[in-house]
Amino acid sequence: MDVLIFWVALLGTVAVLAYHRASLTMFTALIAALLAVASFTDTVGLVSWILFLIVALPLNVASIRQQYLTKPLLKIYRKIMPEMSTTEKEAIDAGTTWWEGDLFRGTPDWHKLHNYPKPRLSAEEQAFLDGPCEELLAIVDDWHTTHERADLSPEVYQYLKDHGFFAMIIKKQYGGLEFSAYAQSCVLQKLTSKSMVLSSVVGVPNSLGPGELLQHYGTKEQQDHYLPRLAKGLEIPCFALTSPEAGSDAGAIPDVGIVCKGQWEGQEIIGMRLTWNKRYITLAPIATVLGLAFKMQDPDGLLGDTKDLGITCALIPASTPGVKIGRRHFPLNVPFQNGPTQGEEVFVPLDYIIGGPKMAGQGWRMLMECLSIGRAITLPSNSTGGIKAAALLTGAYARIRRQFKLPIGKMEGIEEALARIGGYAYMAEASTTMSVGSIDLGEKPSVISAITKFHMTERMRQAIIDAMDIHGGKGICMGPTNYLARGYQGAPVAITVEGANILTRNMIIYGQGAIRCHPFVLAELQAAGLEDERAAVTAFDRALFGHIGFSISNFFRALWLGLSNSAFSASPYSDATAKYYKQMNRYSAALALMSDVAMGTMGGDLKRRERISARLGDMLSMLYLTSAVLKRFNDDGRPAQDLPIVQWACEDNMYKAQVALDEMLDNFPNRIVGSVLGKLLFPWGRTLRKPSDQLDHQVSRIMQTPCEARSRLATNVYLTLEPNNQIGLIEKALADILAAEPIFDKVVHAANKRLPFFRLNEVADLGLELGVITEAEAQKLRVAEQGRLHTINVDDFDPLELAADKSLFDIKPKAKSEAA
Ligand SMILES: Cc1cc2nc3c(=O)[nH]c(=O)nc-3n(C[C@H](O)[C@H](O)[C@H](O)COP(=O)(O)OP(=O)(O)OC[C@H]3O[C@@H](n4cnc5c(N)ncnc54)[C@H](O)[C@@H]3O)c2cc1C
């Protein structure tokens, strides 16, 4: 019996110490103390002490440990770990880790999350949103842009240049706006809510491109020349990396720059002969300066001994003889300027290299460092703006449109899709704000930017599909009053650019996340790569034994949190949100454990097991997105009205985290490990559920009813009432109809008839005739009818108006009034 008590006490001590991540010294001291007590009561004898010393001594005495354990293990490690390519190394070195690192390590500190400052706009940034953004949006006509002109109008381009829209990232000393990442995000969200073409055109020069690269790496001469010109819009930049042969595998570009002598402005100089063939380049057709990525080679050793210098970035004026630029691609009826560019043996000076000749070969590192910032801003913000606009418009439409004598938004089937748009809108705003906020705190968030890019663009695609379904034919028939179809058509563009999404999910999020966020893996890799053997063993020893302790701790944490269904784990609040913090504690520990198990059992092969990597990435992503939702709720002052949307978003995310873990265990290559861990991590089965029908109902009610929670869903959406702004018009129609409904009911009651809710003009006349409403009330019914008709009607055209090549027909299209 005493022996049983001893073993229970020993196991319990190990479990508690491991759960709390106690140090090795603490472990050794407490186990020794336990043995001492057991010896005192004659429960254990000399053999136990000998066994203890055999284990404890080598572990605690560094010299013994390093000689007999670390050295042989380092040898094995070097054999099984694959070599990393230079481009992989540079991608991993670029950027920093932030909150996602805490989630990855299995013990998130919720106070730390809530203490990150809430991003805020300066007075100047707010004035820009309220002034130039509003003025710009008033002159943009999306149908004209996407259908009639296939471009923004010259007036819009001029406005963009005059008001610094291309210069949001450029420092004030060069005449730029130098906005925070948060302000850029708010501007892009607002622009997207009216025109995707507009936000794409504005987003690109402010993202990864010449402006960003020049500010970080340009020579003083380059900065002084280009930055003021970019700020004033005198130069339009583009950046060309992608080639027909190198899309996702951008490091494999075949474009070259050969160092050679040549004539430049009447003199012989050492320069480069550039040959490139690039495609998909945004703004290329109108660019005046081409940022170009190519592989630089110095076969004649004119610069030194290195023949293959590597990827290099240069700025080439588009007017340089030999530069072919100006043709357009046609990206999915969202015709922002995008096209190919080519050049053959174009000779330029070495000074065209961004940062000058010393930066030859540094291009990939430069691009990776800047991409971690740009990728977190442009596409997530554009997608967030799109989802929020879809949420507002679809909520209003579902309330206004009636079928079977009911607003369609009251039908349960519609509620399911509507709630999804609402939940995504809240979550998108929360995640984008948190991610851009990290940039303003000085981070270069490479993992977060991949998470945010992937999930915001995917959620935008789902939200727009749901919105289209709810709108039925109204969404499909295109024309000046259609506010959804271009978003629906354009969704795959956001999915494809800056890392096509399948690649981002399967390789980038976890591939970079595992190495960057793990507290020991990068240190192990770096230690194994050290040339000084002594230093390698010491560094590897520190990382490896830290890693082993970390893994043991994760095992006990995941086990206990699964067994207890995380009921006793920490939450900073004890209200309705407490359970989500607890669920995240559990899934964070499970992620940390599964990461180590996956890396331990698959080693370098994990890189090729993309679907395992994708699901680990999904778990990390869901934890990040749920944290963002809870942080937003907290930053907004925990308004009770928002709670159903917060709960919806948390439950949807955490259910997806459970699916990711479950599917990973089901498909784990080592079946024994998969099924044993399945039992340990899910001792009570899959306990998390999707958001309930009741929650769907509550969220869709909020989306259809003007209230504070609905307004908070729509921050930075362009709501101004002007003839060209469908959101403004439909928001007004919603308000007018809600105001008309009690008046309508009064007439129905007095007439003692079950009238349909249309032809409200006639209802107004009837009400006046019956003497139950005033003229002012009758007018409200007439106004509501106008808004109702505008909301449900679709555009129609003379058949010839739709033909792109009118010369095929010898009659002119009739004007609408003529046809009528
Ligand atoms: C409209 C538009 C604008 C763009 N603007 C620019 C620009 O301004 N400058 C610029 O340089 N580039 C630009 N790009 C390129 C863009 O950023 C993408 O990187 C590029 O489109 C991806 O290459 P691809 O389309 O050839 O797809 P491919 O590389 O052929 O990929 C096809 C599919 O395979 C998947 N895939 C590839 N590798 C893997 C893998 N290892 N594991 C799993 N899946 C994988 C991808 O996710 C994708 O789904 C633009 C692209 C478009 C469409």
| Alpha carbon distance 756, 496 (integer Å) | 46
The Cα 249–Cα 706 span in angstroms is 47
N-terminal to C-terminal alpha carbon distance within the chain: 98
Residue 468 has pLDDT above 70, yes or no: yes
- Mean pLDDT, residues 214-218 taken together: 95
Which of 283, 341, 454, 496 for mutating ligand 1's site (highest number of atoms within 8 Å of CB)?
Answer: 496
Cβ contact 278:341 at 8 Å: yes
Phi, psi (degrees; rounded to nearest 5) at 256: -130, 155
Tell me the HSE value of 810 on the side-chain side, using a 13 A CA sphere.
0
Chain CA centroid to CA 86, Å: 26
What confidence score (pLDDT) does residue 625 get? Answer: 98
Which amino acid, one-letter code, is at 364? W
**Sorting pLDDT into bands at 50, 70 and 90, what band is 655?**
very high
- Phi/psi for 226 (5° steps) reads -85, -40
Handedness of CA 524, 526, 529, 534 (dihedral sign): negative
What number of helices (H) and strands (E) belong to the chain? 35, 9
Q: Three-class SS string for 280-333?
A: EEECHHHCCEEEEEEEEECCCCCCCCCCEEEEEEEEEECCCCCCEECCCCCCCC
What does the pLDDT look like over 545-597, one tens digit per residue? 999 999 999 999 999 999 999 999 999 999 999 999 999 999 999 999 999 99
| Confidence band of 393 (pLDDT split at 50, 70, 90) | very high
Distance 497 CA to ligand 1 centre (A): 6
Taking CA atoms only, the protein residue closest to ligand 1 atom 26 is 247
What whole-number distance in Å separates Cα of residue 765 and Cα of residue 772?
11
Q: Is the distance from CB of 469 to CB of 401 less than 8 angstroms?
A: no
d(CA 143, CA 214): 36
Mean pLDDT of 712-739: 96
Distance 249 CA to ligand 1 centre (A): 8
**Tokens of residue 333, six digits:** 């009826």
For residue 269, the SS3 value is: strand
- Record the tokens describing residue 249, joined without a space: 């595998």
Ligand 1 atom nearest to CA at 249: 29
Evaluate if residue 604 carries a pLDDT over 90.
no
Q: How confident is the model at residue 814 (pLDDT cuts 50, 70, 90)?
A: low
Instruction: Place 78 in a pLDDT band, splitting at 50, 70 and 90.
Output: confident
| Residues near ligand 1 (Cβ within 6 A) | 239-242, 247-248, 280-282, 331, 338, 493, 496-498, 500, 502-503, 506-507, 610
- SS3 at position 421: helix
Least confident of 348-362, 502-516, 618-632: 502-516
Predicted confidence band of residue 193 (pLDDT cuts 50, 70, 90): very high
pLDDT value of position 820: 47
347-354: average pLDDT: 97
**CA 110, CA 115: separation in Å to the nearest integer?**
9
pLDDT of residue 807: 84
Q: Please state at what angle helix 412-440 crosses helix 643-666, rounded to 10 degrees.
A: 90
The minimum-distance atom of ligand 1 relative to the CA of 282 is 8
CA quadruple 366, 370, 372, 378: dihedral, nearest 10: -150
Helices 610-635/446-471 angle, 10° precision: 80
Lowest mean pLDDT among 40-49, 95-104, 308-317: 40-49
Give the integer Cα–Cα distance in Å for 189 and 266: 49
Among 32-46, 381-395, 718-732, where is mean pLDDT lowest? 32-46
| Nearest CA owner, ligand 1 atom 2 | 280
C-alpha span between 473 and 456 (Å, rounded): 26
CA of 247 to the centre of ligand 1 (A): 5
CA distance 197 to 335: 7
pLDDT category, 818, cuts 50, 70, 90?
A: low
CA of 496 to the centre of ligand 1 (A): 6
Ligand 1 atom closest to residue 498's alpha carbon, by position in its atom list: 17
What is the C-alpha to C-alpha distance for residues 737 and 25, in angstroms, rounded to an integer? 71
Please write the tens of the pLDDT for every residue from 105-158: 999 999 999 999 999 999 999 999 999 999 999 999 999 999 999 999 999 999
For residue 643, which of 423, 421, 373, 489 has the smallest C-alpha distance?
Answer: 423
Render pLDDT for 245-273 as a digit per residue (tens, 0 to 9). 999 999 999 999 999 999 999 999 999 99
Round to whole Å and give the CA distance between 329 and 284: 10
Please name which of 483, 456, 389, 458 lies closest in space to residue 713, comparing C-alpha atoms: 389
Q: How many CB atoms lie within 10 A of CB 606?
A: 20
SS3 412: helix
DSSP symbols for 570-605: --S--STTHHHHHHHHHHHHHHHHHHHHHHHHHGGG
Q: Which residues, listed in sequence order, are joined to residue 239 by a DSSP beta bridge?
A: 291
Bridge partners (DSSP) listed for residue 260:
271
Q: Contact at 8 Å (CB) between 466 and 422?
A: no
- Alpha-carbon distance of 438 to 432, in angstroms, equals 10
Amino acid identity at 286? I
CA–CA separation, 144 and 402 (whole Å): 30
How close is the Cα of 313 to the center of ligand 1, in Å? Answer: 19
Q: Are 503 and 431 in contact (CB under 8 A)?
A: no
Give the nearest ligand 1 atom to 250 CA: 19
- CA nearest to 27, candidates 47, 55, 6: 55
Please report the atom of ligand 1 found closest to the CA of residue 204: 8
Ligand 1 geometric centre to CA of 370 (Å): 18
pLDDT at residue 279 is higher than 70: yes
DSSP 425-454: HHHHHHHHHHHHHHHHTT--BHHHHHHHHH
Separation CA 737–CA 739 (nearest Å): 5
Greatest Cα pair distance, the chain, in angstroms, is: 109
Residue with the smallest CA separation from ligand 1 atom 44 is 503
Q: Distance between CA 29 and CA 48 in Å, rounded?
A: 15
Parallel, antiparallel or unpaired: strands 324-325 and 338-349: antiparallel
**Among residues 529, 527, 507, 664, which one has the least CA distance to residue 595?**
664
Q: Which numbered atom of ligand 1 lies nearest the CA of 493? A: 1
Choice between 377 and 207, residue whose per-residue pLDDT is larger: 377
* Nearest-atom index, ligand 1, CA of 238: 8
Residues with a catalytic annotation lie at 498
- Using the predicted structure, report yes or no on whether residue 714 has a pLDDT greater than 70: yes
In sequence order, the 6+-apart residues with CB closer than 8 A to the CB of 577 are: 571, 630, 633, 646, 647, 650
User: What is the percent of the chain where pLDDT is above 70?
Assistant: 98
On whether the CB atoms of residues 145 and 137 are closer than 8 A, the answer is no
Q: Residue type at 20?
A: H
Q: What is the pLDDT of residues 606-634, one digit of tens each?
A: 888 999 999 999 999 999 999 999 999 99
- Residues 611 and 768: their CA atoms lie apart, in Å, by 67
Closest-CA residue, ligand 1 atom 3, reads 280
Q: Whose CA is nearest to atom 27 of ligand 1?
A: 247
**Whole-angstrom Cα distance, residue 311 to residue 274?**
13
| C-beta separation of 22 from 107 below 8 A | no
Mean pLDDT of 54-60: 88
State pLDDT tens for residues 362-373: 999 999 888 888
pLDDT at position 1 over 60: no
What does 240-251 look like in DSSP terms, one character per residue? E---SS-SS-GG
Give percent above pLDDT 90 in the chain: 82
Residue 459: is it exposed, middle or buried by C-beta count within 10 angstroms (0-12/13-18/19+)? buried
Average pLDDT in the chain? 94
Band of residue 306 on the pLDDT scale cut at 50, 70, 90: very high
| Pairing between β-strand 256-264 and β-strand 289-297 as defined by DSSP bridges | parallel
pTM above 0.85?
Answer: yes
Cα(542) to centroid(ligand 1), Å: 40
Residues paired with 82 in a beta bridge: none
Q: Please give the distance, rounded to the nearest whole angstrom, from the Cα atom of residue 240 to the centre of ligand 1.
A: 13
Using the mean position of ligand 1's atoms as its centre, give its distance from the Cα of residue 499 in Å.
Answer: 6
CA distances (Å), 468 to each of 112, 137, 301, in order? Answer: 40, 24, 60
Three-state DSSP at 259 gives: strand
Q: What is the dihedral of CA 566, 567, 568, 573, to 10 degrees?
A: 100
Cα of 260 vs its chain's centroid, Å? 43
Cα angle value 208/214/215 (rounded, 5°): 90
User: In which band, very low, low, confident or very high, does the pLDDT at 605 lie, cut at 50, 70 and 90?
Assistant: confident
